[in-house]
Amino acid sequence: MLRLHLCFMFRPLYAFLLMLTFCFLGQGSLYAQVYNNTSGQDKSIVGDQKIRSDSNAGFAEKGLDYSVTIYSINGKGERAEYDTTIDKVHRLGLLSNWELSLGNAGSAYQSLKADAYLSANYSLLPSRWTAYSYDEEDLVYYNTTKPFSEVRYSAGSQQEQVLELIHTQNITPRWNFSTAYRKINSLGFFKGQRSNIDNLQFVSGYQSKNDRYKASGAFLYNKIQQDENLGILSDSFLTNPQFSNRSIVPVGIFISSTATRSPLLNYRRSLGVSFRQEYGLGKTESYYTKDSVKKNRFKPFLTFGNKVYYQSGRYCFQNAEPDSVFQARYFPLSYELQDTLLLQYDNDRIGTSFSAEGNIYIKEKVFSLLAGLGLEYQKIGGLSSLRDGVNNFVFGQLSNKKSKDSSFVLLAALKLFYTGLARGNVNFNGLVSKALPKNIGTIGVKAAQYVQQAFYVAESIQIDSALNEQSLKAQINTSLGGFYKNEKLKLGVSLSSLLFNNLIFSNGLQPDYQNFSRAISIQQLQLDKGFVFKRWHIENSILLQISTNNTPLNIPFFASFQRFAYHDYLFKNKLQVSTGMDVSYNTPYFNDQYQPIFQSFSPQQSIKKTVIPRLHPFFNFKIKRFRASLSVDQAQHFFIKNNINYLGYPAQGPLVRFGLRWIFIN
């Protein structure tokens, strides 16, 4: 079938070679003074500083004989130092402590922690899978005094491999570019669950010498492939000694003993290009540093901005060997399929936005008000039907993030679509926080309101030549909460109240989406506390959730994550080590069932599975710029049968993993 081949033609050919080419371009001697995008601050950074670490484990950087200063600024203007710690080298760095996959690295996942967030955009699918993608909202813009590269590699049992290459350098003192490539590949312990993921990005940021003009651009590409096996046929195989080799456990679709691939395949692809520029009007004033050095800084009163972007996404599902059993279980058709089953959807957007931002200066405080208009053309649909339209939107932001005094923080942001396919979609969030006197911590409140029209595939199911369309109500989510944090005590407490109205969910294994008729209320408490006793470091995260009974939103009442680690320096401080164990646990709950079509999850209220704490012992070490680890993920499965993450989908077996991170400075 020609359309089937077209679905999988676009691949990042030669991405690895391209990455290496950029890594070694311009590696001659280069001095680039780092600049800070935050207005009103001293932009000079001493060139002989060592790599700075944002470690929260109490280790200072030691033993580096290369001088470099590197940091990043995200899309919100928040600065972060480059992480050179060894605390998490043993982790793959893909999923958070609360997220749980089908069992294999790179497979479908969802969070144990309820989240009210909804995108303001008109979406194609129920989930975005940002953990396995380079996403525009998570982009960071580096600044570095020297060309800087890092190789991250992890290899584990069952051919699990994760490779990530990162390179950044300043072309001029005020112009930086960075590029990154990531490859995730894993066969998995069970038959027919292979994952294959490629991510590629190019990012660049520029700021003029007088600080009036700024520009940034990005290119993003993601390809995600996941084989589907429909789950194991019975949990009893996990306790049968004859199936100690998990690769021979019977699964829901026939796969020959010699085959390594499944006839069922999910495929996602996304491509994004964006360019943003802004120009500020204001005045330049002089000031003196503590060393009585005269410097200039630009104070913008009015800043104009423009952004242009293009985003393209594709989703495909194929079954090369459809049968009546699969058809009856996962989707009803009036005829029996004789050939390959194919679902293919595309989602393309091209748009632009214009904004104006005014700043009011009151002594050391700066209040910023931004307002803007945007429009985009969107075309979305499958093989049988398409929708298109012009989406017009307004957006705005009120903040004081440019103030020198960070004891009081105010932030409110809004995005609203008023025409087109996304009409009525709203994304609002606000935060107010205040530092308490005598350095006893920070207290704050936050609120969010999200309105999102039903994602496209919930209303338009296009399977083969069949078309089933319906109309659903927009989902409305609300979040209100407060928090307290004390960095000195390594303490954080947050309390949230979440409300879900018109929740869109899938009823059963077939792609049959509905609105839930009642509001769902969830009360959430999270406590984070770190302890340091001599060389022992303990991290604790506890999550409590109380939810309305008998709803499609299934979450555990209690979940926790602990890390117990011993830190030390050996061989005259040449070797830094961290060894210990990660422990994760959650109380039994009605685990969702996985729906391979559209890679979503549907609720079930019949089976609760016992959960044994997940154990992940590790040994991490660091010598100068080289970090490495040896660990055993899911170590508890040496003694007991596999935990069941979702119905029919066990967690992986004991997985021995080696990882390294190596920094290169030129």
With a cut of 70, say whether residue 90 has pLDDT above it. Answer: yes
pLDDT at 338: 66
With a cut of 90, say whether residue 169 has pLDDT above it. Answer: yes
With a cut of 70, say whether residue 366 has pLDDT above it. Answer: yes
What is the pairing mode between strands 575-586 and 593-595? unpaired
pLDDT at 549: 87
Token digits of residue 287: 């000031």
pLDDT at 124: 93
Residue 19's H or E segment, with its range, is helix 15-24
Name the residue with tokens 């499609």. Answer: 552
Average pLDDT over residues 319-331: 79
* Every domain of the chain and the residues it spans: 2-257+274-653
Gyration radius (Cα) of the chain, Å: 26
How confident is the prediction for the chain on average, in pLDDT? 86
For residues 453 and 473, is the Cβ–Cβ distance under 8 A? no
pLDDT tens per residue, range 98-137: 999 999 999 999 999 999 999 999 999 988 788 999 998 8
Average pLDDT over residues 552-559: 95
Higher pLDDT: 84 or 628? It is 628
Of 27-41, 252-266, 616-630, highest mean pLDDT: 616-630
Higher pLDDT: 9 or 546? It is 546
Provide φ and ψ at 634, rounded to 5°: 55, 45
Average pLDDT over residues 313-320: 92
Average pLDDT over residues 79-86: 84
Token digits of residue 636: 């508890």
pLDDT at 111: 95
Query: Is the entire prediction scored with pTM above 0.85?
Result: yes
pLDDT tens per residue, range 400-450: 887 777 789 999 999 999 999 999 999 999 999 999 998 899 999 999 999
Q: Per-residue confidence at 271, pLDDT binned at 50, 70, 90? A: very high
Non-local CB neighbours of 448 within 8 Å, separated by 6+ positions: 116, 117, 428, 429, 430, 477, 478, 479, 480
CATH class of the domain comprising 2-257+274-653: mainly beta
pLDDT tens per residue, range 220-253: 999 999 999 999 999 999 999 999 899 899 998 8
With a cut of 60, say whether residue 59 has pLDDT above it. Answer: no
pLDDT tens per residue, range 134-162: 998 888 888 888 999 999 999 999 899 99
Token digits of residue 472: 């659903």
Average pLDDT over residues 655-663: 96
pLDDT at 4: 42
pLDDT at 276: 96
With a cut of 90, say whether residue 35 has pLDDT above it. Answer: no
What is the Cα–Cα distance from 666 to 664, expressed in whole angstroms?
A: 7
Q: Per-residue confidence at 67, pLDDT binned at 50, 70, 90? A: low
Average pLDDT over residues 280-291: 85
- Residue 77 zone, left/alpha/beta (φ > 0; ψ -120 to 50; rest): left
DSSP state of 203: E
Beta bridge partners of 588: none
Q: Decide: residue 348, CB within 10 A, 0-12 exposed, 13-18 middle, 19+ buried.
A: middle
What is the percent of the chain with per-residue pLDDT over 90, rounded to a whole number? 67
With a cut of 60, say whether residue 203 has pLDDT above it. Answer: yes
pLDDT at 314: 96
Amino acid, res. 353? S
Q: What is the dihedral sign for C-alpha 510, 513, 517, 523? A: positive
Q: Break the chain down into helix, strand, coil percent, rounded to 5.
A: 10, 50, 40
For residues 149 and 181, is the Cβ–Cβ distance under 8 A? no
pLDDT at 132: 95
Lowest mean pLDDT among 28-37, 352-361, 505-514: 28-37
Q: Decide: residue 331, CB within 10 A, 0-12 exposed, 13-18 middle, 19+ buried.
A: buried
pLDDT at 413: 96
Average pLDDT over residues 29-45: 33
What is the percent of the chain with per-residue pLDDT over 70, rounded to a whole number? 88
pLDDT at 465: 65
pLDDT at 464: 63
Average pLDDT over residues 497-504: 97
Q: Per-residue confidence at 609, pLDDT binned at 50, 70, 90? A: confident
Residue 457's H or E segment, with its range, is helix 456-459
Average pLDDT over residues 323-352: 81
With a cut of 50, say whether residue 11 has pLDDT above it. Answer: no
Non-local CB neighbours of 464 within 8 Å, separated by 6+ positions: 333, 337, 341, 342, 343
